[in-house]
């Protein structure tokens, strides 16, 4: 078990460090190496899966490392999406150049994210958050064009504010309780947390700091710039994985695992979630940039996740965690689709497209899968997570929340149908007569993701039992 967990740290790290030398052997060697590294981490996650219900803890380099159901869910998400993005990049990154640098940074980001979900103290969490973030800042600016660098700078500056707040929160906690390990903190906070103003101030700082990382409205300003400007596989990683691990996972771990779900924090999450869901969906409706539309829809979907958490009952939490998985799959799928379209057409402006499914069949069909899943059409995965969130809202007698959640899934379908209508469905725009399907590796990645989003829906029971429920039990157990 320890060996497997160590693999999750070391494989991406060693991969990132060796990449410059491996790439000297040629293009194909670098491609094979990054794929191999990611396959190893995915296989490791799958090997850990049967033990999802139990936990494994040990000390490593002075840090407390633990695998439980919640970590495992996020590990599967990070490494699964990471593998798809890495495979996709093999063909995609050709026109940017700097293959080795790109793969190194990607692996470094995966390493940071894996670290975040495995460690069990605030300082290490913060450390790995910064590892992942630094890689992300560079990758956003990877195209070295004006908008990329601008977006990266914006992302960096706002994130510094976020991590600053987190760091102050950590200092406050350390000063008050004298410990940073989650287990110790939980004991120290038991009972006294709600009454101690310093600890509640720290909680507020964490909500704002990690909320900014999760791009929750009103802390979302960086996301609509950063996600579209990045290369498509990085947009997919950012929207599908990074905001969830750096934001949602940290919030969940802290407020359910350490703070024992204080009611006013839950209410704050619920309100922030509603705000994100509504604002993200409404603003997405007015976008004409393919990736910007997806970026706003990510904000909206993060809102759904926070709503589920804010409701705080079993259904709500199961729904939220299931939505983490589903959103990771379908949003990275859609971002990879947008990348394929941009790769072939050279534009992200959906007004210039039209009828692309006639030339890019694989991209078109897989984007329909993504659209249906994000709108919550059964039997795709997105439906079941939304169903559980609605079940939770009704069980908690949050009628307004339940109604808004339902209403905005109509809205979501509305703007995604608009996207389908302008980009894929319909008569081919004459301009794109010579268009070809995206290269093989890119198509393979999107087909895998599209199949996964359907299979997760069809076999929702196994996914719930094997992956989501153990994760939810960790949270409710800490309650």
Residue 85's nearest CA partner among 188, 233, 193, 283 is: 233
The smaller minimum CB distance to other proteins, of residues 169 and 312, is found at 312
> Which residue from 58, 60, 286, 403 is in contact with other proteins, where contact means CB under 8 A?
403
> Which residue from 59, 430, 434, 461 is in contact with other proteins, where contact means CB under 8 A?
461
Write down the least CB distance from residue 457 to other proteins, Å: 9
Burial class (CB within 10 angstroms; exposed 0-12, middle 13-18, buried 19+) of 418 = middle
Question: Which of 113-121, 140-148, 368-376, 441-449 is the region at the interface with other proteins (rule: CB under 8 A)?
Answer: 368-376
The smaller minimum CB distance to other proteins, of residues 91 and 469, is found at 469
Question: Which of 48-56, 64-72, 201-209, 374-382 is the region at the interface with other proteins (rule: CB under 8 A)?
Answer: 374-382
Is residue 378 within the footprint of other proteins (CB under 8 A)? yes
| Total of residues contacting other proteins (CB under 8 A) | 32
Is residue 413 within the footprint of other proteins (CB under 8 A)? yes
Is residue 14 within the footprint of other proteins (CB under 8 A)? no
Write down the least CB distance from residue 361 to other proteins, Å: 9
The smaller minimum CB distance to other proteins, of residues 153 and 395, is found at 395
**What x-and-dash track marks residues 299-338 binding other proteins by CB under 8 A?**
----------------------------------------
Is residue 187 within the footprint of other proteins (CB under 8 A)? no
**What x-and-dash track marks residues 240-279 binding other proteins by CB under 8 A?**
----------------------------------------
Is residue 410 within the footprint of other proteins (CB under 8 A)? yes
Is residue 49 within the footprint of other proteins (CB under 8 A)? no
Question: Which of 194-202, 250-258, 295-303, 405-413 is the region at the interface with other proteins (rule: CB under 8 A)?
Answer: 405-413
The smaller minimum CB distance to other proteins, of residues 190 and 400, is found at 400
Is residue 126 within the footprint of other proteins (CB under 8 A)? no
The smaller minimum CB distance to other proteins, of residues 21 and 403, is found at 403
Is residue 414 within the footprint of other proteins (CB under 8 A)? yes
Question: Which of 135-143, 219-227, 248-256, 417-425 is the region at the interface with other proteins (rule: CB under 8 A)?
Answer: 417-425
Question: Which of 55-63, 158-166, 173-181, 407-415 is the region at the interface with other proteins (rule: CB under 8 A)?
Answer: 407-415
Write down the least CB distance from residue 332 to other proteins, Å: 22
Is residue 460 within the footprint of other proteins (CB under 8 A)? yes
The smaller minimum CB distance to other proteins, of residues 177 and 420, is found at 420
Is residue 455 within the footprint of other proteins (CB under 8 A)? no
SS (H, E, C) the chain: CHHHHHHHHHHHHHHHHHHHHHHCCCHHHHHHHHHHHHHHHHHHHHHHHHHCCCCEEEEECCEEEEECHHHHHHHHHHHHHHHHHHHHHHHHHHHCCCHHHHHHHHHHHHHHHHHHHHECEHHHHHHHHHHHHHHHHHHHCCCCCHHHHHHHHHHHHHHHHHHHHHHHHHHHHHHHHCCCEHHHHHHHHCCCCCCCHHHHHHHHHHHHHHHHHCCCCCCCCCHHHHHHHCCHHHHHHHHHHHHHHHHHHHHHHHHHHHCCCCHHHHHHHHHHHHHHHHHHHHHHCCCCEHHHHHHHHHHHHHHHHHHHHHHCCHHHHHHHHHHHHHHHHHHHHHHHHHHHHHHHHCCCEHHHCCCHHHCCHHHHHHHHHHHHHHHCCCCCHHHHHHHHHHHHHHHCCCHHHHHHHHHHHHHHHHHHHHHHHHHCCCCCCHHHCCCCCCCHHHHHHHHHHHHHHHHHHHCHHHHHHHHHHHHHHHHHHCC
Is residue 447 within the footprint of other proteins (CB under 8 A)? no
Residues near 438 by beta carbon (within 8 Å), at least 6 away in sequence: 91, 340, 343, 344, 360, 362, 363, 446
- Token pair for 458: 């069809």
Write down the least CB distance from residue 122 to other proteins, Å: 36
Is residue 406 within the footprint of other proteins (CB under 8 A)? yes
Is residue 372 within the footprint of other proteins (CB under 8 A)? yes
The residues in 343-362 that bind other proteins, with binding defined as CB under 8 A, are 355, 358
Write down the least CB distance from residue 400 to other proteins, Å: 12
> Which whole-number Å values give the CA distances from 103 to 91, 139, 201, 272, in the listed order?
12, 10, 40, 35
The smaller minimum CB distance to other proteins, of residues 59 and 434, is found at 434
Residue 103's nearest CA partner among 32, 174, 181, 1 is: 32
Residues 142 and 32 sit within 8 Å (Cβ to Cβ): no
> Which parts of this chain interact with other proteins (CB under 8 A)?
355, 358, 372, 375-379, 383, 387, 390-391, 394-395, 402-403, 406, 409-410, 413-414, 417-418, 420-421, 425-427, 460-461, 464-465
């Amino acid at each position: 078990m320890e060996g497997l967990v160590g693999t999750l740290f070391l494989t991406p790290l060693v991969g990132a460090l060796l990449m410059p030398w491996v790439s000297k052997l040629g293009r194909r060697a670098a491609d094979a190496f990054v794929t191999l590294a990611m396959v190893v981490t995915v296989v490791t996650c799958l090997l850990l899966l049967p033990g999802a219900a139990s936990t494994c803890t040990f000390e490593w380099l002075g840090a407390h490392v633990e695998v439980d159901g919640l970590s495992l869910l996020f590990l599967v998400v990070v490494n699964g999406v990471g593998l798809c993005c890495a495979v996709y990049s093999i063909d995609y990154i050709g026109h940017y150049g700097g293959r080795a640098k790109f793969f190194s940074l990607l692996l470094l980001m995966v390493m940071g994210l894996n670290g975040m979900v495995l460690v069990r103290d605030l300082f290490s969490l913060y450390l790995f958050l910064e590892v992942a973030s630094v890689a992300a800042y560079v990758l956003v600016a990877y195209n070295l064009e004006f908008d990329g660098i601008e977006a990266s700078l914006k992302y960096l500056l706002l994130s510094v504010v976020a991590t600053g707040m987190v760091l102050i929160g950590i200092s406050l906690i350390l000063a008050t309780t004298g410990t940073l390990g989650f287990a110790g903190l939980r004991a120290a906070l038991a009972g006294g947390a709600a009454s101690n103003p310093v600890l509640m101030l720290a909680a507020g700082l964490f909500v704002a700091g990690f909320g900014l990382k999760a791009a929750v409205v009103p802390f979302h300003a960086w996301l609509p710039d950063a996600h579209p400007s990045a290369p498509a596989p990085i947009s997919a990683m950012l929207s599908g994985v990074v905001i969830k691990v750096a934001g949602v996972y940290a919030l969940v771990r802290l407020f359910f695992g350490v703070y024992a779900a204080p009611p006013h924090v839950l209410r704050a999450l619920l309100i922030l979630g509603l705000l994100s869901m509504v604002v993200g969906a409404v603003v997405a409706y007015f976008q004409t940039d393919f990736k910007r539309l997806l970026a706003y829809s990510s904000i909206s979907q993060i809102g759904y996740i926070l709503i589920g958490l804010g409701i705080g009952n079993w259904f709500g939490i199961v729904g939220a965690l299931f939505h983490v998985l589903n959103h990771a799959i379908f949003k990275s799928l859609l971002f990879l689709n947008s990348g394929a379209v941009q790769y072939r057409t050279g534009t992200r402006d959906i007004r210039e497209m039209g009828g692309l499914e006639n030339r890019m069949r694989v991209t078109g069909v897989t984007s329909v899968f993504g659209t249906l899943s994000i709108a919550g059409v059964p039997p795709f995965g997105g439906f079941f997570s939304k169903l559980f969130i609605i079940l939770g809202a009704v069980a908690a007698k949050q009628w307004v929340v339940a109604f808004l959640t339902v209403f905005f899934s109509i809205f979501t379908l509305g703007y995604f149908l608009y996207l389908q209508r302008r980009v894929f469905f319909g008569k081919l725009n004459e301009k794109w007569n010579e268009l070809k399907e995206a290269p093989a590796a890119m198509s393979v990645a999107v087909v895998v993701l599209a199949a996964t989003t359907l299979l997760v829906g069809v076999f929702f029971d196994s996914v719930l039992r094997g992956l989501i429920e153990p994760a939810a039990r960790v949270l409710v157990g800490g309650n």
